[in-house]
Amino acid sequence: MISGSVFFTAFGWCGVVAGEKGLKRLILPLRSKSRVVTLLAVPTPEKNDLLILAEKIIKAYFRGKKVSLDLPLDCSGFSPFQEDVYAVTRMIPYGRVKTYGEIAREMERPGASRAVGFALGLNPLPLLIPCHRVIREDGRLGGFSSPEGTVMKARLLHLEGVILKNV
């Protein structure tokens, strides 16, 4: 059964969806609750224990608390390449960054930095799969598929204490 939750954080309204196996989707903070509800696309939101825990942890994160985002995820529908990219990305510690190239090299696919970026652009669970911690080789932000784009990426990195020189 699919269930969802919409909640307010220090950065704005968020939404999260859970399936039988874990969390399936996260909407990063937006100003409009109705936009989050629309993007969430869950017909009858109702909270379960996993959603309640996720909401608590995500709210704490946006208050600047260093929390573990190691929640169960539902990775069904991911390609094997996406699974590999997301597994390496989940290992990036709070307050640290890696480049798209470093992710590719850790996957033993040194020429796949663009493919890594593409896979991260499809990430349905930003923050939980912390794609905001992945930057370009030249130290610039790179892309970010959140509705707020690279502005949100920069805010998340700043929240974690990361200061980029080439922004």
b/e sequence 68-105, b meaning 16+ C-beta within 10 Å: ebebebbbeebeeebebbbebbbebeeeebbbbbbbbb
From the list 131, 134, 152, 156, the catalytic residue is: 131
H or E stretch at 101: helix 100-106
Active site residue 14: no
User: Residue 95's Cα: distance from chain center in Å?
Assistant: 14
Q: 126: Cβ–Cβ under 8 A, 6 or more apart, which residues?
A: 26, 28, 132, 144, 145, 146
Active-site residue numbers? 131
